[in-house]
């Protein structure tokens, strides 16, 4: 068996004292940057997740012209076609073998961006799902603040309140077609469904479907890729697979790299490489779907080091050439624009 990631599974659904849960969450975020949030259906109902996947399938199945009319813009909203985004431009021969659709905010159940007619009537449901993710992301930000001893403990939470102003937060539907459905055929070793990257926001929630592996994280040694099972041992009987949470660049900036923004990628199921590369019981032959919620603070949020003894006492990163330490304080918006420019070369070249 390959090096399966030993990512902790944490249950945050209880309503008792959260101190211990907060501590476990922070330790996992420091050690792995990824945490499984046990899915009890309390925070996000299983039905809501199933409906979101159903809407995603319908959206991607819409006529090409409908999707093209919603092509992604510099505001990071809309449809990104096959091979359009390149998450790891330094190492990819061609763009990611995926299609994606990004939803920004909704006002009174209406998207503030073009929406394919095929899913126009679903806007209230998509908006509701985005709200569920927003609420869960606030809860996780609160736990991280408590676990790190940030002063005040709701420092991260209040930076994410919608009332603070517009943010880069995106709900993203993703579709990865199987190899045999692609006109440009990927090669086994070089081509990926999503290139190696860290996420641009503060934290990400990822929803996946049973039996659809492909996500891998880069271990601390900087060279070993480790598959992340959809259903880790102990969650087989839960109402739905756990929600995978990972730390993005902004929480890493805020904490001088103490919370890890771990590099990850999505690969094709391999036909020729070692048969043990995948995860037992997970064979991905069809189209893979996933849904990501990229949580961002309000655009003007400054990414200086947060008031926390634990964070301020963290020196390891500086000595190791930590990219988050000792740099100019960026705002969330400046950071997002910098990252988008790197992965959508064409979009920024055409428009500037």
Ligand X SMILES: O=C(O)CCC(=O)C(=O)O
| Residues making contact with Fe ion (CB under 5 A) | 199
Taking the C-alpha atoms of residue 64 and residue 309, their distance in angstroms, rounded to an integer, is 53
**Tokens for 280?**
């037992």
| Overall residue count recorded for the chain in this entry | 352
Q: Which does 196 bind (CB under 5 to 8 A by kind): ligand X, Fe ion, none?
A: none
22 by DSSP, 3-state: which?
helix
Nearer to Fe ion among residue 88 and residue 334 (C-beta): 88
List the Cα angle 87/90/96 in 5-degree steps.
30
**Distances, alpha carbon 142 to alpha carbons 5, 100, 226, 302, in Å:** 26, 29, 29, 18
Report the C-alpha gap between 173 and 329 in whole angstroms: 31
Are 203 and 143 in contact by the 8 Å Cβ rule? The answer is: no
Q: Cβ of residue 319: shortest distance to Fe ion, in angstroms? A: 28
User: Taking the mean position of all CA atoms in its chain, how far away is CA 74?
Assistant: 19
Q: Minimum CB separation from Fe ion for residue 265, in Å?
A: 8
CA–CA separation, 251 and 150 (whole Å): 12
For residue 215, the partner it binds in ligand X, Fe ion, none, with Cβ less than 5 to 8 A by kind, is ligand X
Q: What is the closest distance, in whole angstroms, from the C-beta atom of residue 100 to Fe ion in the complex?
A: 11
**Number of neighbouring beta carbons within 10 Å of residue 181:** 9
Strands 34-37 and 9-10 turn out to be parallel
* Helix or strand run (H / E) with residue 289: strand 288-295
The one of ligand X, Fe ion, none whose footprint includes residue 290, by CB under 5 to 8 A per kind, is: ligand X
**Min separation Cβ 208 and ligand X, Å:** 6
Cα Rg of the chain, angstroms: 19
Minimal CB distance to ligand X: which residue? Answer: 290
Least separation in angstroms between residue 268's CB and ligand X is 12
CB of 212 to ligand X, least distance (A): 8
Q: For Fe ion, which is the closer residue by CB, 148 or 245?
A: 245
Residue nearer to Fe ion on the CB measure, 248 or 269? 248
Which C-beta is closer to ligand X: that of 24 or that of 99?
Answer: 99
Residues that bind ligand X (CB under 6 A): 174, 194, 199, 206, 208, 215, 264, 266, 290, 292
List Cα–Cα distances, 95 to 45, 76, 214, 328, in angstroms.
Answer: 34, 17, 17, 31
Cα 213 from chain centroid (whole Å): 15
Which of Fe ion, ligand X, none binds 192 (CB below 5-8 Å, type-dependent)? none
Question: Least Å distance between CB 295 and ligand X?
Answer: 12
Partner touching 174 among ligand X, Fe ion, none, CB below 5 to 8 Å by kind: ligand X
Measured from the CB atom, the residue of 87 and 303 that comes closer to Fe ion is 87
Nearer to ligand X, 171 or 194 (CB): 194
Question: Which residue number, 10 or 206, has a Cβ lying nearer to ligand X?
Answer: 206
CA-based nearest residue to 335, from 159, 200, 202, 204: 200
86 touches, from ligand X, Fe ion, none (C-beta below 5 to 8 Å by class): none
Residue closer to Fe ion (CB basis): 226 or 308: 226
Nearest distance in Å: CB 192, Fe ion: 12
């Amino acid at each position: 068996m390959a090096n399966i990631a030993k990512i902790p599974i944490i249950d945050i659904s209880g309503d008792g004292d959260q101190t211990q849960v907060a501590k476990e969450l922070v330790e996992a975020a420091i050690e792995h940057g990824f945490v499984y949030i046990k899915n009890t259906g309390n925070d996000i109902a299983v039905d809501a997740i199933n409906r979101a996947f159903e809407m995603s399938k319908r959206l991607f199945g819409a006529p090409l012209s409908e999707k093209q009319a919603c092509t992604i813009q510099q505001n990071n909203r809309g449809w990104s076609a096959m091979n359009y985004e390149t998450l790891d431009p330094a190492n990819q021969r061609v763009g990611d073998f995926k299609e994606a659709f990004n939803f920004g905010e909704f006002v009174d159940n209406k998207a503030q961006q073009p929406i394919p007619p095929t899913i126009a009537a679903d806007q209230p449901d998509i908006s509701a799902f985005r709200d569920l993710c927003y609420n869960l992301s606030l809860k996780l930000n609160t736990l991280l603040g408590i676990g790190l001893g940030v002063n005040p403990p709701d420092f991260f939470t209040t930076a994410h309140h919608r009332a603070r102003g517009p943010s880069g937060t995106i709900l993203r539907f993703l579709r990865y077609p199987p190899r045999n459905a692609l006109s440009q055929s990927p090669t086994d070793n070089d081509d990926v469904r999503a290139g190696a990257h860290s996420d641009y926001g503060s934290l990400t929630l990822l929803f996946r479907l049973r039996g659809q592996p492909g996500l891998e994280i880069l271990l601390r040694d900087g060279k070993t890729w480790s598959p992340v099972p959809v259903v880790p041992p102990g969650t087989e009987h839960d109402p739905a697979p756990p929600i995978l949470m990972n730390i993005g660049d902004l929480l890493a900036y805020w904490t001088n790299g103490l919370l890890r923004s771990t590099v990850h990628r999505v690969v094709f199921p391999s036909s020729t490489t070692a048969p043990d590369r995948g995860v037992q019981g997970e064979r991905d032959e069809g189209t893979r779907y996933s849904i990501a919620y990229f949580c961002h603070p309000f655009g003007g949020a400054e990414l200086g080091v947060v008031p926390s003894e634990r964070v301020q006492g963290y020196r390891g990163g500086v000595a190791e050439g930590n990219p988050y330490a000792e740099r100019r304080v960026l705002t969330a918006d400046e950071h997002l624009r910098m990252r988008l420019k790197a992965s959508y070369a064409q979009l920024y070249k055409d428009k500037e």
